[in-house]
Structure 1
């Protein structure tokens, strides 16, 4: 498909107007039970990962009180995402999870898996916790994943994942890719498949938070990375691929005549260890701007999540983000797939919320769709 043809396909699907004024009740709440991580990955965005600032049970209880009426309509996911949640120990993490007893919630956890033991694995099974792990592929691809002494963590990560898979967990993997090439795509997909993970999400390295490394890559190589990854998945769909799911869901929407963009401004409340709540981008937790003020919209210890969502939707930085989203809508052929990017990527790459194209957009949205189209084109020949 030519560039012009792709432009016409995307342009005609851009809606005439977008109503961001109504924010729905979320189905996921991200909880930061601790800032501490036992690793010191080079690309990590967390600024306080060397400090043990731990969430009090009162914060968990306040969140549970806020989501109780949400669960009357839908199941809510409580995602424990640090820091490294396992540094709290099983008893302490259990006390936080206990706050949600009796509610229709499902717990999930994102872990580097270095602390996984048979006891931890049993704990997570008994509580039916969905487990996500962070691993970037085979040993040679994990050079950025080290502990604070600079020691490589691959063997510990791999051992923990083998324990989880062997005990019957359906393990989801998140991989950070700092060298997106077709060869990298092949090795990553093969590795995750053989490891026994059931789901894979890929993050091309992003410049955000404490990570100030550049994330500009050669465009053709990034497109080739996504094309090869999509091709590997289509030939051997043993692992659910997040990016394939997103691209195919979008394509299905096009076929069904849907004329709206996927909004990246649906609330994703992220609750910091101290109860402060940030909406839309967990990566903004703990940050503020001299120009735009606090990215936190208040504390769940004093205000319900419903009110914090209403308050947050009126924040100056959100208004600036929406101005940028409107600019994206009229200038970007890929808006209907992307929905306007994410607040954290805009802010940390450009210092503003109303900027448009970012390296994140180029790497993880545009190149992704170009890669999918490239793979489909090879099949259609």
Structure 2
């Protein structure tokens, strides 16, 4: 199982319920009020303590809507990690953010990611339980964060990739003063069975226009552009370590302590062949032991066969790292396939869009020239899965 690296992060599900009803959401239990106990959080904290002796560990709180559990309960859960070298992050729809939440984020030094898809017309799929638009309430939360000096990072779901959509999205990120922007082209996964097949040229044009918008005014870091240019820098620098993809086990701890590896999107789902994808419960065994068990499980073994197949046949492998198991499973019903619609939309299309802009500007020679020398993206190791992939 040499494709796996050491874990750098853990995803925590403090609660399953969500106060929105986004049409593309993949989560199965967002109508149920199931809440994580402090015993589960304490067990996770004991597990990551040895990890923190070597590096800072990211603890990402993700729902449902994590703020729906309330400040008092989230405080109990976060307090379990006091004294450890962890960095707390939270992914929220921002509709519940008020002054008290902003003070809470400052107290616990929480990095806040906000899910919003751009200007009002591009948020039609983000509605509440009564079908009412959520945009105004999300923006109220974003404005509160800015008022209290919190960096605003946004993650957007794009269901209609086009050059016009890319321009609107980047302009919106600049307008709200976002520190960073992450882009998820809508995926077919979980309870969202909508096909994510897209026209290849349209997808490449979307990414190319996003690169052009960023290049013209690179004041917002774009997650996908950072990754693409980081990879280009590694290729040009012949950095062999950076060009050897490693999969973060990325343990996801559900409200009840059950642990799923690699793909948070698989948590809570069952397969006729693999069961519930969980590798055990953190109340019964530490994360290191669960990870050792999990990487030997039948579904992970099948996924790794697919990773090896990707390596053998796909010229984009070193950039992509072999894709994500959830996309393979929900698109194809198995885990050892190779190219998926997700790959085409979010990896291949992205790289082709970047190269299209680079070639047109005769900037293939260096990554810095694409960035106009103003923002040089970091040459980070390419990861097959990172916590920032979640939405």
For Structure 1 versus Structure 2, the TM-score category normalised by the shorter chain is over 0.9
Alpha-carbon deviations, 1:99-128, whole Å to 9, x = none?
A: 000111111100000001111111111211
- The whole-number CA distance in structure 1 between the counterparts of 2:216 and 2:95 is 32
* 1:241 and 2:222 correspond: yes
Alpha-carbon deviations, 1:8-65, whole Å to 9, x = none?
A: xxxxxxxxxxxx3364331110001000000010000001101110000000000000
- The whole-number CA distance in structure 1 between the counterparts of 2:21 and 2:124 is 11
* 1:146 and 2:127 correspond: yes
Task: Kindly indicate whether the alpha-carbon contact (under 8 Å) linking 1:27 and 1:77 is maintained by their aligned counterparts in 2.
Answer: yes
- The whole-number CA distance in structure 1 between the counterparts of 2:256 and 2:245 is 28
TM-score with structure 1 length normalisation?
0.93
Secondary structure of the structure 2 residue equivalent to 1:29: strand
- The whole-number CA distance in structure 2 between the counterparts of 1:178 and 1:42 is 11
Secondary structure of the structure 2 residue equivalent to 1:302: coil
Task: Kindly indicate whether the alpha-carbon contact (under 8 Å) linking 2:36 and 2:255 is maintained by their aligned counterparts in 1.
Answer: yes
* 1:65 and 2:24 correspond: no
Alpha-carbon deviations, 1:107-154, whole Å to 9, x = none?
A: 110000000111111111121100000000000000000111111101
User: Residue 126 of structure 1 corresponds to which residue in structure 2?
Assistant: 107
- The whole-number CA distance in structure 2 between the counterparts of 1:235 and 1:171 is 21
How do residues 1-381 of structure 1 correspond to structure 2 at under 5 angstroms?
20-21=1-2, 23-259=4-240, 261=243, 263=245, 265-380=247-362
- The whole-number CA distance in structure 2 between the counterparts of 1:138 and 1:294 is 38
Task: Kindly indicate whether the alpha-carbon contact (under 8 Å) linking 2:3 and 2:247 is maintained by their aligned counterparts in 1.
Answer: no
Task: Kindly indicate whether the alpha-carbon contact (under 8 Å) linking 1:25 and 1:70 is maintained by their aligned counterparts in 2.
Answer: no
Task: Kindly indicate whether the alpha-carbon contact (under 8 Å) linking 2:117 and 2:156 is maintained by their aligned counterparts in 1.
Answer: yes
- The whole-number CA distance in structure 1 between the counterparts of 2:5 and 2:336 is 23
Deviation, 1:264, is: 5.8
Alpha-carbon deviations, 1:197-229, whole Å to 9, x = none?
A: 100000000000010111111111110000010
Alpha-carbon deviations, 1:266-290, whole Å to 9, x = none?
A: 2101000000000100001111211
- The whole-number CA distance in structure 1 between the counterparts of 2:36 and 2:172 is 35
Deviation, 1:259, is: 4.1
- In structure 2, runs of 5+ residues without a counterpart are 364-391
- The whole-number CA distance in structure 1 between the counterparts of 2:202 and 2:244 is 26
User: Residue 3 of structure 1 corresponds to which residue in structure 2?
Assistant: none
Task: Kindly indicate whether the alpha-carbon contact (under 8 Å) linking 2:3 and 2:246 is maintained by their aligned counterparts in 1.
Answer: no
Alpha-carbon deviations, 1:230-288, whole Å to 9, x = none?
A: 11111111111101110011111101213465536321010000000001000011112
State the Cα RMSD in Å: 1.2
Alpha-carbon deviations, 1:163-218, whole Å to 9, x = none?
A: 10121001110000000000100000000111011000000000000101111111
Task: Kindly indicate whether the alpha-carbon contact (under 8 Å) linking 1:49 and 1:83 is maintained by their aligned counterparts in 2.
Answer: yes
Segment drifting more, 24-33 vs 173-182: 24-33
The size of the alignment, in residue pairs, is 362
